[in-house]
Structure 1
Amino acid sequence: MDEFLKWYFSHHPVVAGFLGAEGYDHTLGDFTASAFTLREQEQARWLERLSAAESASLDDAIDRDLVCSQLRGSIALASWPEWRRDPAAYLSPIFNSMYTPLQRRLKPESELVPAAISRLAEVPGVLAACRANLDPDLAAPLLVQRGLGQARTGRNFLTRTIPGMVEDPELRAKLAAAAEPAAEAFDQLVAFLEAFQCGGTWRMGERLYSTLLRERELLGYGAAELHEKGTVAWAELDARMREVAVRVNGTEDWRAAMESLMDDHPPTLADMRAEYEAETQRAREFVRERDLVTFADGEECHVLPSAEYTRPILSVAHYLAPPPLAGSRTGVFFVPYTPDDFTPEQVRQRLRTNSRAQMPSIAVHEAYPGHHWHLSYMAGNPRTVRKVFRTSYFTEGWALYVEKLLHEQGYFDTPATELAHLDCRIFRAARIVVDTALHCEDMSIEEAETFMATKASLSPGTAQGEVNRYCAWPTQAPSYLTGAIEIDRIRASFQGSLKEFHDKIAGSGGLPLGLAEKAAHGEGARRTE
């Protein structure tokens, strides 16, 4: 396993640096076509070797099966090569590798800035590879336009945002000077993408979608079954919300009730951030008082505006975990600021989808005992591979599971916050329905946007941003409710206290659900459909 991780880090240095592995923070890696092809070939050899390996213990078997599931997923995706289809395969590593180290500040600027300069020198080559590798027959216009929106933020991000994060004037000047050639490469990429003509599809198709669910996520069912689960869950939640809505506005029309609740929102983006910070602390104290989990020593969650480069592509709150291979336990809950070019009405709509009734659920999901608690706590797991590979079907499933947990514990103690909690959940049920339908060619983009705007309490603009994300990131959107349902199922047969269950299953990592069940129950774990 150590040998495999050394290979993996050497081929994915941005990921290695993000995780806190030492020695990988000076390079972006090789993005040439030959490098992608070589990695695909070597992944197949690693899968064959690891599949044949015997395990001395249950933990060893889980480690092996975790890596094999990831490799099977990557090998399956070789037939859907992101590096030929989507500029994000090149842009995201650049943005993340430049922003995250300066955000976390785990090293002094005297080390962070030279590493950033070294990576900046590689940006022109990475973006040249993007131009060379994008295939007009495979790349979809939707994905290219999405990448173009990101690329247009590149110059300002590299020449202003990143140097602005450096306190030392001399180092700041060096970084700004080194950023100019990279910024010029971004200008060239913007011009290229503006003129790029392509005719590929973003629809993954049922076969590959189901393969990923079964072989990477270890769920035991495919796209059709998942779609049905989402449809059933939506109907059940709709019935519950009709009952709660009567206590909010006197009718069963929960959409109208949510619309009225969304009018009570912070007046500005800055106020939204401040109110989220207060709600995050309230959630932390609630969880501690009820002794629901064990907190990691030294954990801390900052609540900050979302990074500039994410604003064109992310319209919801999100979280940056502490690097699990380093000693830090400090994470960041990013509040979803709007791009600078948004109109006042677009800003108002963003504020409405972060209303005061919704804030408790979102803070629980992103921070306590959601993502921040989970990822700061699991960073203490001694098994290195569990810190390297995790699936959103557990991590996002966990964050939605704990929303329901805190509802059971009485955290959402008004009809307004209870309805908003259920709205967050029905939104995730709608995601299952829409994502599976989009990628299995059963729904158009326009139909999906209408579904999200009418079957969940999203503004038209937010619904549009959500559907755009689903098109670009197949199988991720269903992970929230799917994982939450599976964790609930595993909990039902766990022998022990709530706290013991939470510490054990969440502390085991962010495992595919079939492996999470083994970690919770031991060798006797059996899946039941």
Structure 2
Amino acid sequence: MTKYDPSLVDDFLSHHWTWRPVDATFMGDKAHDALLPPVGDDVIDEERRSIAALRERLQDTAIPDDIGNRLDRRMMLAELAVQDMAAAERSRLRNPAWYSGEAAFAVISLLLPQSAPVRHDALIARLGAIPGFLHAAAGGLARRPTPAGWVNRARREAAAMAEFLAGDIKLHEEFADDWASPALAAAAAFTDFATAIAGLPDADPACGEVYLARLFETQHGLSIRPASAVDLAEASFERLGAELEDMAAAVDPNRTWEEIIAGLSAEHPGDAEAVIDSYMHWDVQAVVDGHRLVTPAQEYDLDYRWMAPCFRKVSQSLYFLFYRSPPGLKPGEGSVYWVTPPGENIETFLASNNRATVKTIHSVHHGSVGHHTQNTRARASESRLARIAGTDCALGLAFLGSITLIEGWACYVEDLLMEAPGFYSPAEVLLLKQYERRNAASVLVDVRLHTGEWSMEEAMAFYRDKAGFAPARVEAEVVRNSMMPGSRAMYWLGVEGIRALRRRWKGDTLSFHDTLLSFGHVPLAWIGEEMHRAGLLNPGPSIL
């Protein structure tokens, strides 16, 4: 057994970025900005050889005494194990939406404010590589059975990018004439790709119970089995349904909880400018009201602004987040939070930006004391990888093992602000209860879909008819479930895990939350182990 060498993190990142150069751009590494991911018949075999060599080197090292190196070593081993498992059994090269997403965000990642100024040479290189990348993708997918939801998502993304590259990219403030020709060629390639994958035979997207259980244990550090998670979430789903009815009766005995929540859409600003002002107002109010519960990040700016004109159409069809974690390797001074401007129907725009939605989703979950504070605190983590694991990439988080902490915190902190007297109205508290119930519902879909108990259609029916998801959102939500096994279940498990740790915490509320976030983006279960190791927890049960 050799001594652990911290430079292994550099080797791990070099490995990761070799196969996922778009991730590197989002993380703030510029050396890969001109590249697209390698594709072809030999790629997976080459990647697995690289994984095996790195795992062997890591496994031969002793567990470090200091926490930063210990977490880095553990994360590398977990991520490499999952990468190998996925390469062998659920290769990303068999998912058309992986290709469309990587090609789309290879371009868009270089055009976002966090990448300013635009690296023109890198952008032109990536545009020029897209036709070959998508042609190889179409060839590798030809006649291969593929889940229809994945195909539909890829075709929708490809069509949106074709339109963007042929038109709206010219609205970018740094657009240059030498982008035009490669952009048009890339647009044609997206169109050809969408045509080529149309009609692929359907396939079952389920990963299977064994695969899912390995993800729970290896990637997320969980001791709980998927079936046990379903039992807990199902009981919670039923209990929360009853609580919604009781709470609604206390708020207004003449209306159901569904009617009370629907009524929140009428409580909105009077005009568009007042909408963007409300985002900032409630962000500030959450910081003021929540500062005794968690130390808010105020040293890193969050700039609420209207979405840039060039992105307004394409963002509707892509995994285009209004808030993205800033590049951990080059975080700069702040991050942009896009606010979608009004369309033709101003009343619909105002209703969708009602006070309750702005407060809970935008100003708390993502802004102020939510993801914004969490991401800022992660930059100071003792673990190098924990500073960047939660980077939002083309399809989701860079290292999904961190999702229990990342999404667990953002959902948990919505409820935490209930401990700040007067921040929420009784009807808004009812809305938060519905959010919690939907997260419990997502555990049921995530697990039952991947263990084969439910089909895609049954999962969509449950979300629509039982869980209260908006009908327009249902298909995309289930497709996301199908593409990333276990990830959606981690929202609810993360919240429950944080609550369990808080019950065992020896100190006060503020110190618990600040300590929790100080670990950065690592699996919540590991944070619990480190808290126990440091003597910070009382004995007690943990859902994780």
8 Å contact kept, 2:302–2:337? no
Q: Please give the alpha-carbon distance, in whole angstroms, between the structure 2 residues aligned to 1:368 and 1:121.
A: 39
Deviates more, 1:258-267 or 1:62-71: 258-267
Q: Which residue of 2 aligns with 1:258?
A: 261
Alignment of 1:129-140 (within 5 A): 129-134=136-141, 136-140=143-147
The Cα shift of 1:18 comes to: 0.8
Tell me the matched-pair count: 516
**CA shift in 2, pair 1:146/1:16, >3 Å:** same
* Percent identity of paired positions between Structure 1 and Structure 2: 24
Unaligned runs of 5+ in 2: 1-7, 391-401
Q: Which residue of 1 aligns with 2:11?
A: 3
SS of corresponding position for 1:145 = helix
Alignment of 1:443-482 (within 5 A): 443-482=454-493
Deviates more, 1:172-181 or 1:59-68: 172-181
The Cα shift of 1:366 comes to: 1.2
Alignment of 1:26-41 (within 5 A): 26-41=34-49
Q: Please give the alpha-carbon distance, in whole angstroms, between the structure 2 residues aligned to 1:76 and 1:520.
A: 30
Q: Please give the alpha-carbon distance, in whole angstroms, between the structure 1 residues aligned to 2:51 and 2:437.
A: 38
**CA shift in 2, pair 1:441/1:428, >3 Å:** same
AA aligned to 2:244 is M
The Cα shift of 1:266 comes to: 6.6
**CA shift in 2, pair 1:427/1:285, >3 Å:** same
| 1:13-69 deviation line (CA, Å, top 9, x unaligned) | 211121012322121231223123211232133223212211332412221111111
Q: Which residue of 1 aligns with 2:4?
A: none
| 1:368-412 deviation line (CA, Å, top 9, x unaligned) | 211111112212335322223342122101101111211122354
State yes or no: 1:207 paired with 2:207. Answer: no
SS of corresponding position for 2:248 = helix
Q: Please give the alpha-carbon distance, in whole angstroms, between the structure 1 residues aligned to 2:422 and 2:87.
A: 45
Q: Which residue of 2 aligns with 1:174?
A: 178
Alignment of 1:100-179 (within 5 A): 100-109=109-118, 112-134=119-141, 136-167=143-174, 171-179=175-183
**CA shift in 2, pair 1:433/1:117, >3 Å:** same
| 1:221-245 deviation line (CA, Å, top 9, x unaligned) | 2221111121122123223222221
8 Å contact kept, 1:412–1:418? no
| 1:463-520 deviation line (CA, Å, top 9, x unaligned) | 3332233233321211111101111212222233333222222121111122121343
Q: Please give the alpha-carbon distance, in whole angstroms, between the structure 2 residues aligned to 1:181 and 1:270.
A: 39
Q: Which residue of 2 aligns with 1:285?
A: 288
The Cα shift of 1:161 comes to: 3.1
**CA shift in 2, pair 1:40/1:85, >3 Å:** same
| 1:421-449 deviation line (CA, Å, top 9, x unaligned) | 11111111111112212222222333323
**CA shift in 2, pair 1:310/1:50, >3 Å:** farther
**CA shift in 2, pair 1:78/1:374, >3 Å:** same
SS of corresponding position for 1:300 = strand
8 Å contact kept, 1:203–1:471? yes
The Cα shift of 1:251 comes to: 5.0
Superposed CA RMSD: 3.0
8 Å contact kept, 2:323–2:337? yes
AA aligned to 2:375 is L
Q: Please give the alpha-carbon distance, in whole angstroms, between the structure 2 residues aligned to 1:142 and 1:21.
A: 32
TM-score, normalised to structure 1's length?
0.88
8 Å contact kept, 2:293–2:510? yes
AA aligned to 2:361 is I
Unaligned runs of 5+ in 1: none
8 Å contact kept, 2:206–2:482? yes
Deviates more, 1:259-268 or 1:275-284: 259-268
- Counterpart selection for 1:13 from 15, 21, 31: 21
Q: Please give the alpha-carbon distance, in whole angstroms, between the structure 1 residues aligned to 2:130 and 2:80.
A: 28
Q: Please give the alpha-carbon distance, in whole angstroms, between the structure 2 residues aligned to 1:55 and 1:172.
A: 51
Q: Please give the alpha-carbon distance, in whole angstroms, between the structure 2 residues aligned to 1:97 and 1:266.
A: 37
Alignment of 1:288-367 (within 5 A): 288=291, 290=292, 292-295=294-297, 297-305=299-307, 308-312=313-317, 319-334=323-338, 348=348, 355-363=354-362, 364-367=364-367
Q: Which residue of 2 aligns with 1:54?
A: 62
Q: Please give the alpha-carbon distance, in whole angstroms, between the structure 1 residues aligned to 2:290 and 2:121.
A: 41
AA aligned to 2:520 is G
Q: Which residue of 1 aligns with 2:447?
A: 436
Q: Please give the alpha-carbon distance, in whole angstroms, between the structure 2 residues aligned to 1:90 and 1:267.
A: 42
Q: Which residue of 2 aligns with 1:186?
A: 190
